[in-house]
Chains A and B, each alone.
Chain A
Amino acid sequence: MGEKILMKGAEVIAEAAIRAGCMAFFGYPITPQNEVPEYFSRRMPKLGRVFLQAGSEVAAINMVYGAACTGTRVITTSSSPGISLMQEGFSYIANSDVPCVVVNAMRGGPGLGDIAPAQADYSQAVKGGGHGDYHSIVIAPHTLQEEADLMFDAFDLADKYRIMTVVLVDGLMGQMMEPVEFKEWVDVKKFKAPDWATVGQRDRDQRNIITSLEILPEGLEKMNLRLQEKYRKIEKNEIRFEEYKMDDAEYAITAFGTVARIAKTVVGMARDEGIKLGLIRPITLWPFPTKLIEKRAKQLKFFFDSELNAGQMLEDVKLAVNGRKPVYFYGKLGGVVPSAEDIYKEFKKHMEGGR
């Protein structure tokens, strides 16, 4: 660990990726994350690494796909409308078993929407988004320090499972400043092309082909079953969450990212009034901490889910709770961010009703 540096969230993403050994960036400008490509464009050439501004997000994700096929640590960053354009590539990447990292700094939608912070791409990110049965690992930091740490994990997980990792943040996290401390630089001199990489056969015995195509249904079923097996393994090994003041909790907020950060203040406000409120914060949105929520349902009077959308993670919380306890919801739409007071007030409405 080095010293603490005061940095903007968007730059933390880029700097952490660079230190984690990211060798190539391909992307297309979109607010609210332009500082990320701008930062990469300054740093990558100096390190002898690749920075390229693509003609569109469609081109960008397919450049990522190409680089990923060579086993290179590669990233793209974008925001909601750009991420929608990339869905085709995500689906191909999933069925090709190649690793890459994608950052989505979510903004208000649908359509062109606005450039304010939102979490309305949750479903798109965790349920697949493109066509076919697939998942990407989705991680959602709630502070810049966590973002700095998770960028390393994003690349490690991508390489370990040959999968796409999505780092899901919002415009607010890109714009705020906080002191962060970065992990040690990954030694990129140790990188070598994995044995499956398509870089030219050279002295390898077999040649490598990377394709998402399998025209025979029986063959494609096999590919799908292999993917599902990989997903089950990830669900078994990689679920991450934070529980905040949950030991004695009678009520729990479920929230991720920016809202989870605000929710910690809400928990403090409740505790000051003697209300036993805690926070369950999924860090991996996929795989989702279903078992944990199921377990906590026993001790709680109700769950209170809060998001910057109309109730997307809510569905996963409800599935986990499975009717055992009430799950209430408070969401803000279109880029409006609630204050801790707003959330607390909404929470208390249900408390009074639930008493």
Chain B
Amino acid sequence: MKTVYKKPESITNKPTTYCPGCPHGIAHRLVAELLEEMNLTRETVIVWPVGCSVFGYYFIGTDAVEAAHGRACAMATGIKRTHPESFVMTYQGDGDLASIGIAETVHAAARGEKITVVYINNGNYGMTGGQMAPTTLIGQKTTTSPYGRDPKLTGFPMHVPEMLATLEATAYIARAALDSPQHIIQAKKFLKKAFNTQVNGIGFSLVEMISSCPTNWKMTPVEAMERIRQEVLPVFPIGEFKVAEGVE
């Protein structure tokens, strides 16, 4: 019998802690598929964040550490610098990476740390109940922007890939989206380039994945995906922002 579909080797049998329809699961699968395809599962240390994916190490079965909120890129630096032969990846939300951990992220990128960052932007703090994040859209209502995000008070959504692409030491920087099969296939291509960037020792790589949070957006999973297309992607366009020489 021909196998048409199977679980990637590193995906465990643990039921996830994610809400129904949450794209964290899609991102996990992409990571796990690539680790298997690229024969990296047993070489890998994943640095997990504080956020809804805080228990990620239960779902992707590699060696793993759990960082303090925002510190994943620093922790990954400590691992990679002392063990350059290991494949070191962080998986971080937008609160974790773009708010509390922005300094650690920018400096890891500026140093050209040979790590890969999977950055899940769902426009809010999912885990703590949907508060405003640096990525929250103008006018978007969250539990801490109940009247809608007002740029006069809290500025504008933060475009991390665009910022990091300006740093000379970054090697591969892209933004993908998890809203449709087509975009998910593209996300995997981007992620593969990011993984390759590390495997080939080129430099820092990051893929932002535009995600949703149906629970805190108070939408059905389908409505949330539609909102990504209608409202989020116009502000956060998909694309590759930095492709250094040698990245494939």
Residues in chain A within 8 A of chain B (CB atoms) = 23-24, 26, 50, 52, 54-56, 58-60, 62-70, 72, 74, 88-89, 92, 96, 198-203, 207-213
A56 CA to B103 CA, complexed, in Å: 8
Task: Report if B81 contacts A (CB, 8 A).
Answer: yes
Residue contact A207 to B62, C-beta cutoff 8 Å: yes
Write 20 A-B pairs (CB below 8 A) sorted by A numbering. Answer: A24-B82, A26-B77, A54-B74, A55-B107, A58-B103, A58-B104, A59-B71, A66-B75, A66-B78, A67-B81, A69-B75, A69-B78, A70-B78, A199-B86, A200-B43, A201-B42, A209-B64, A209-B65, A210-B66, A211-B57
Do the beta carbons of A63 and B75 come within 8 Å of each other? yes
Contact A88 B68 (CB under 8 A): yes
Shortest Cβ distance from B111 into A: residue:
A52
Q: B87 in the interface, Cβ–Cβ < 8 Å?
A: yes
Which one of B78, B86, B107 has the highest number of Cβ atoms from chain A below 10 Å of its Cβ?
Answer: B78
Most B-side CB within 10 Å, residue of A60, A202, A209, A210: A209
Q: How far, in Å, is B95 (CB) from chain A's closest CB?
A: 16
Q: B44 in the interface, Cβ–Cβ < 8 Å? A: yes
Q: Of the candidates A66, A72, A88, which one forms a contact with B47 in the assembled complex, judged by CB atoms under 8 Å apart?
A: A66
B84-114 contacts to A (CB < 8 Å): 85-87, 103-104, 106-107, 111
User: In the bound complex, how far is the Cα of B63 from the Cα of A65, in angstroms?
Assistant: 15
* Chain A residues, CB < 8 A from B85: 200
Q: Is B61 an interface residue (CB 8 A)?
A: yes
> Is B79's CB under 8 angstroms from A66's CB?
yes
**A50, B81: Cβ atoms under 8 Å?**
yes
**Beta-carbon contact of A66 and B76 below 8 Å:** yes
Measured CB to CB, the nearest residue on chain A to B58 is A209
The answer to whether B42 touches A65, judged by C-beta atoms less than 8 angstroms apart, is no
Q: A199-B45, A199-B86 are in contact. Are A62 and B74 (CB under 8 A)?
A: yes
Write out the residue numbers on chain A whose beta carbons fall within 8 Å of the beta carbon of B78.
24, 26, 62-70, 74
Task: State A353–B50 Cα separation when bound (angstroms).
Answer: 59
Besides the contacts A26-B77, A58-B103, what 8 more A-B pairs have beta carbons closer than 8 Å? A66-B47, A67-B82, A68-B78, A72-B82, A201-B42, A208-B63, A208-B64, A209-B63
> Do A70 and B83 have beta carbons less than 8 Å apart?
yes
A66 touches B68 (CB 8 A): no
B107 touches A52 (CB 8 A): no
Are B104 and A59 interface neighbours, CB within 8 A? Answer: yes
CB distance from B204 to the nearest CB of A (A): 14
Which residues of chain A have C-beta atoms less than 8 A from B111's C-beta? 52
By a CB distance below 8 angstroms, the chain B residues around A96 are 65
Please tell me if the beta carbons of A212 and B66 are within 8 angstroms of each other in the complex.
yes
How many angstroms from the CA of A212 to the CA of B64 in the assembled complex? 12
- Asked if A200 contacts B63 (CB within 8 A), the reply is yes
- Give every chain B residue within 8 A of A67 (Cβ-Cβ): 78-79, 81-82
Please, which residues of chain A bring their CB within 8 A of the CB of B47?
66
Distance between B17 CB and nearest chain A CB, rounded to angstroms: 9
Inter-subunit contact A213/B66 (CB<8 Å): yes
Residues of B close to A202: CB separation below 8 A: 42-43
* Whole-angstrom CA separation of A23 from B82 in the bound complex: 8
B120 located at the interface, meaning its Cβ lies under 8 Å from any Cβ of chain A in the complex:
no
Q: Give bound CA distance, A210 to B45, whole Å.
A: 10
Instruction: Indicate if B187 sits at the interface (CB-CB under 8 A).
Output: no
> Does A198 contact B74, Cβ atoms closer than 8 Å?
no
Q: Which of A63, A64, A65, A70 has the most CB of B within 10 A?
A: A63
Question: Are B65 and A211 in contact, CB atoms less than 8 angstroms apart?
Answer: yes
Tell me the bound Cα distance from A50 to B78 in angstroms. 9
CB atoms of A70 and B104 under 8 A apart:
no
Report the bound CA distance from A106 to B67 in whole Å. 27
Instruction: Please tell me if B27 contacts chain A, counting CB pairs below 8 Å.
Output: no
Q: A201, B63: Cβ atoms under 8 Å? A: yes
Complex CA gap A64/B47 in Å reads 14
